[in-house]
Chains A and B, each alone.
Chain A
Amino acid sequence: MTSGARYLPGIEPSEVCDCDVLLGRYPDRPGPVGDPASVRSLLDRLGIGQALVCSLRGALWDHASGNAETSATSEPGFVAVSTVDFRDPLRAERTLESLAEQGRKVLRLFPEEQHSEPDFPGVRLVARRAAELGFLVLLGGDVRRMWRPFAGLGATVVFLDTHFYHLGDLLALARDEPGFHTSTRLLNSPDALELVCADGHADRLVLGTRSPLCEPAVPLLRLAKSDLDDATRAAIAGGNLRRLLEGRT
């Protein structure tokens, strides 16, 4: 098997939807350039048809021009994801209201990159407004901490950095928060996906690769080799995320 192989036999690329794809690059580390065409090409080689993409420009520097850059991408299958900056929560609030008016209700947040802790007032404000306005929130950071500002709001959240070390915390949260979901990216113990499903939460799992910064082959191979039935595997590969996107793009 090579990186050019399709890892999910029986699931058409158009049915595969990745919740975690970034454009651009971090200036403080080596890595791929992250231009839209090369990212699209990478996903094509792996059989990923749809992807929720967000520009690091918005996360690291200026969310207005970053969101404009993301929206301008014309690659097929890319769903533009907006962002705001916790460090300017008042501007973030105005941006969320504007995006909601435009029907663009998919938001990615970068607390670690913006050095913002879950108990910061600005984080609480952004979380509250995103939930009130009905955004789907793609949220970085440690799930054991970042759940707090979104709890009890009826928020729809996909935790992007849930590590299998913290699977028990996620499952504990899932009991109280029907809108909490997780990326599969770091759920790479031998039975993490299977345990989530066994606990009745198969609908909370969405495929995430963090292409092009991480190896997309890893979560694809993990899902392909999982001890799950075909329908569940297909839901995790894309069906669950498409359900969350309904009415938000």
Chain B
Amino acid sequence: MIIDVHAHWGPWFFTMDVGTAATNLALMDRYGIDLQLVSASEAVIYDPAGGNRRTAELLEHDERLLGYLVINPRRLDIAQRDLAELLPGGRFVGVKIHTDYTASPVGSLQTTDALALAAEHGLPVLIHTWDAAVLDLAQACTDIPSLKAIAGHMGGPGWRHAIEAARGCPNLYLEPCFSHFEAGRVAAVAAAVDPGQLLFGTDATLIDPAVALGAVYAAELPPGVLDSLLWRNAVDLFGLHSLVRRIRDAHGPERLARTAD
């Protein structure tokens, strides 16, 4: 089984045609991804309120997609309203924060407040991290003990900082997506970090899942670690046990056993 904890839906401003959720589902089928946690590109880049609502509509139609509620740390008033209105639907399971598009570094006051808000609601936070910013995220996890944070891209080229950050911080999780794929990156992180802190993310539909999957397969992880990374840790972190049981009932136990095919 594969659970992708870092995905988007909607159009991008690059030369690509991935504007509808049909692309998400086609890619999931192509690569054997069972569940995908998505945020709207619209919400990430420009309009969180509008994008979050369009994600809510989307989530009504396919059980394989779950939602991230996007928070712009500069607009916590919007975030409060979105949380109040959209969480009761039960299809949003986490919060997404992009530090660059909102010019809100991990260590800024507004992002600290946004992380605290998510923690108050018991929602894991996927947050964009680059280079040494992942160390600031570890500090936030220490300062907000109830926070569970996922370092998106595990720092990108700064993945060695991600190792340092995760080793001192059990409520910090790492996911590997990155369009540049330095050899040995996933294997080195998996060898140095508690397997319980590893997650799988693709950055689809911006990036094709071949990138993250290829890098994970190339790492040749022990089967138990591979299962933890690809889905088991996500089930525990996001509380997806009943949903996974339904998938098992619908598709048979072999669906859960074909992780590395």
Chain A residues packing against B (C-beta within 8 Å): 1-5, 31-32, 163-165, 167-168, 171, 186, 188-192, 195, 211-222, 225
Q: Cβ of B210 and Cβ of A215 under 8 Å apart?
A: no
Hey, which chain B residues are within 8 Å of A215, CB to CB?
A: 181-183, 185, 214-215, 218
**How far apart sit A221 and B208, CA to CA, in the bound complex (Å)?**
10
Q: Nearest B residue to A172 by beta-carbon distance?
A: B15
Q: In the complex, what's the smallest C-beta–C-beta distance from B201 to chain A, in angstroms?
A: 15
For B14, give its contact among A2, A31, A168, A212 (CB under 8 Å).
Answer: A168
20 pairs, A vs B, C-beta closer than 8 Å: A5-B217, A31-B182, A164-B14, A167-B14, A167-B16, A171-B15, A189-B14, A189-B206, A190-B204, A190-B205, A191-B17, A191-B18, A192-B15, A213-B183, A215-B182, A215-B183, A215-B214, A217-B215, A218-B211, A221-B214
**How far apart sit A97 and B31, CA to CA, in the bound complex (Å)?**
49
Most A CB atoms within 10 A — which of B18, B181, B211? Answer: B181
**How far apart sit A219 and B213, CA to CA, in the bound complex (Å)?**
11
**Given that A2-B220, A214-B183, A225-B31 are contacting pairs, would A189 and B260 also be in contact in the complex, using a CB cutoff of 8 Å?**
no
**Given that A32-B183, A168-B15 are contacting pairs, would A188 and B208 also be in contact in the complex, using a CB cutoff of 8 Å?**
yes
**How far apart sit A220 and B215, CA to CA, in the bound complex (Å)?**
11
Within 8 A of A (CB), among B12-32: 14-18, 23, 27, 30-31
For B15, give its contact among A2, A195, A217 (CB under 8 Å).
Answer: A195
B207 sits at the interface (CB 8 A): yes
B81 sits at the interface (CB 8 A): no
Hey, which chain A residues are within 8 Å of B27, CB to CB?
A: 190
Q: Cβ of B17 and Cβ of A195 under 8 Å apart?
A: yes
Q: Cβ of A190 and Cβ of B215 under 8 Å apart?
A: no
Q: Cβ of A225 and Cβ of B211 under 8 Å apart?
A: no
Interface string of B182-207 (1 = CB under 8 A from A): 11110000000000000000001111
A-B CB pair tally, cutoff 8 Å: 99
B146 sits at the interface (CB 8 A): no
Chain B residues packing against A (C-beta within 8 Å): 14-18, 23, 27, 30-31, 179-185, 204-208, 210-211, 213-215, 217-220, 260-261
Most B CB atoms within 10 A — which of A31, A171, A215, A225? Answer: A215
Q: Cβ of A189 and Cβ of B31 under 8 Å apart?
A: no
Hey, which chain B residues are within 8 Å of A217, CB to CB?
A: 214-215, 217-218
Hey, which chain B residues are within 8 Å of A216, CB to CB?
A: 218
**Given that A163-B179, A164-B179 are contacting pairs, would A218 and B18 also be in contact in the complex, using a CB cutoff of 8 Å?**
no
**How far apart sit A51 and B34, CA to CA, in the bound complex (Å)?**
36
**How far apart sit A190 and B205, CA to CA, in the bound complex (Å)?**
7
Hey, which chain B residues are within 8 Å of A164, CB to CB?
A: 14-16, 179
Q: Cβ of B14 and Cβ of A221 under 8 Å apart?
A: no
Q: Cβ of A188 and Cβ of B218 under 8 Å apart?
A: no
Hey, which chain B residues are within 8 Å of A221, CB to CB?
A: 210, 213-214, 217
Hey, which chain A residues are within 8 Å of B217, CB to CB?
A: 1-3, 5, 217, 221
Hey, which chain B residues are within 8 Å of A220, CB to CB?
A: 214
For B16, give its contact among A2, A191, A222 (CB under 8 Å).
Answer: A191
Q: In the complex, what's the smallest C-beta–C-beta distance from B38 to chain A, in angstroms?
A: 14
**How far apart sit A192 and B16, CA to CA, in the bound complex (Å)?**
7
Q: In the complex, what's the smallest C-beta–C-beta distance from B34 to chain A, in angstroms?
A: 17
Most A CB atoms within 10 A — which of B16, B180, B208? Answer: B208
**How far apart sit A186 and B260, CA to CA, in the bound complex (Å)?**
24
Rank and list the top 3 A-B pairs by shortest CB-CB distance, nearest first.
A168-B15, A218-B214, A222-B210
**How far apart sit A4 and B218, CA to CA, in the bound complex (Å)?**
8
**How far apart sit A163 and B179, CA to CA, in the bound complex (Å)?**
9
Q: Cβ of A186 and Cβ of B14 under 8 Å apart?
A: no
Q: Cβ of B16 and Cβ of A218 under 8 Å apart?
A: no
**How far apart sit A220 and B18, CA to CA, in the bound complex (Å)?**
22
Q: Cβ of A213 and Cβ of B208 under 8 Å apart?
A: no
